């Protein structure tokens, strides 16, 4: 574990609010020294990596379950919500995210103000959800839940399945806990047949761990300064 990373302890840690610094309106996780979204264009990166990387919006329709490692600002949820609305609200969406260090509401509001086109969705999220809230309905046909705690403990105990995964942990060099092979095995165990996963990371050890967990893994062009990203299919 990097020396500046928080110690999650034997029980997976104490739940605590994210500690932030700010640079050009972008929140930086103080414990990991990593931004929550791209300095170049957070919206475009999210759409490229997590929507395109999981064949969205083409897969909207029927019941679709999305899992996420790292809720952060909630940006991935809002971008997905917007894409679903723009696609005509086809089918139902259920979104489950795993987050060890939830943001304070005020910090989340400041971060999401960076994206004025999502203001309506952000307002609804902020008025409806707080850390520790159970499953809630954000829109007709859209439910979400953020499970607070160390994903290495909370994900194996989760009884759900996901058709799509957003693997959105901080840099493996700074947040190795979210890229451990055992956790990626748990992701695979909670993925439906034919399910997919995507991440902006393309390190060899991550691709190997996903492959060993049972995914078929491919490397694709990344967004902005990141040369490559990873897609995986069960």
The CA angle 156-169-1, to the nearest 5 degrees, is 85
Q: What is the pLDDT of residues 9-24, one digit of tens each?
A: 333 444 488 999 999 8
Confidence of residue 165 (pLDDT cuts 50, 70, 90): very high
pLDDT at 97: 98
Q: How far apart are CA 4 and CA 13, in angstroms?
A: 15
Q: What is the pLDDT of residues 180-202, one digit of tens each?
A: 999 999 999 999 999 999 999 88
pLDDT at 38: 81
pLDDT at 1: 34
* pTM score, whole prediction: 0.90
Hey, what domains does the chain have and what are their CATH numbers?
A: 20-233 (3.40.50.150)
Residue 23 bridge partners (DSSP): 26
Confidence of residue 87 (pLDDT cuts 50, 70, 90): very high
* Positive/negative CA dihedral, 133, 139, 143, 148: negative
């Amino acid at each position: 574990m990097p020396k500046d990373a928080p110690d999650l302890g034997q029980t997976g840690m104490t739940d605590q609010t994210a500690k932030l610094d700010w640079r050009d309106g972008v929140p930086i996780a103080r414990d990991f020294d990593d931004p929550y979204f791209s300095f170049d264009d957070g919206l475009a990166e999210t759409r490229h990596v997590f929507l395109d990387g999981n064949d969205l919006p083409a897969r909207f329709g029927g019941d679709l379950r999305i899992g996420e490692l790292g809720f952060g600002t909630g940006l991935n949820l809002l971008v997905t919500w917007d894409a679903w609305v723009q696609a005509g609200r086809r089918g139902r969406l259920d979104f489950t995210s795993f987050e060890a260090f939830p943001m304070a509401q005020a910090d989340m509001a400041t971060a999401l103000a960076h994206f004025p086109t999502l203001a309506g969705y952000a307002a609804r999220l902020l008025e409806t959800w707080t850390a520790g809230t159970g499953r809630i309905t954000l829109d007709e046909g859209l439910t979400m839940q953020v499970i607070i705690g160390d994903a290495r403990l909370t994900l194996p105990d989760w009884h759900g399945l996901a058709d799509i995964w957003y693997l959105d942990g901080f840099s493996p060099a700074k947040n190795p806990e979210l890229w451990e092979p055992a956790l990626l095995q748990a992701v695979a165990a909670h993925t439906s047949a034919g399910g997919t996963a995507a991440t902006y990371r393309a390190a060899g050890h991550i691709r190997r761990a996903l492959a060993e967990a049972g995914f078929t893994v491919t490397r694709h062009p990344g967004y902005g300064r990141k040369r490559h990203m990873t897609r995986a299919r069960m």
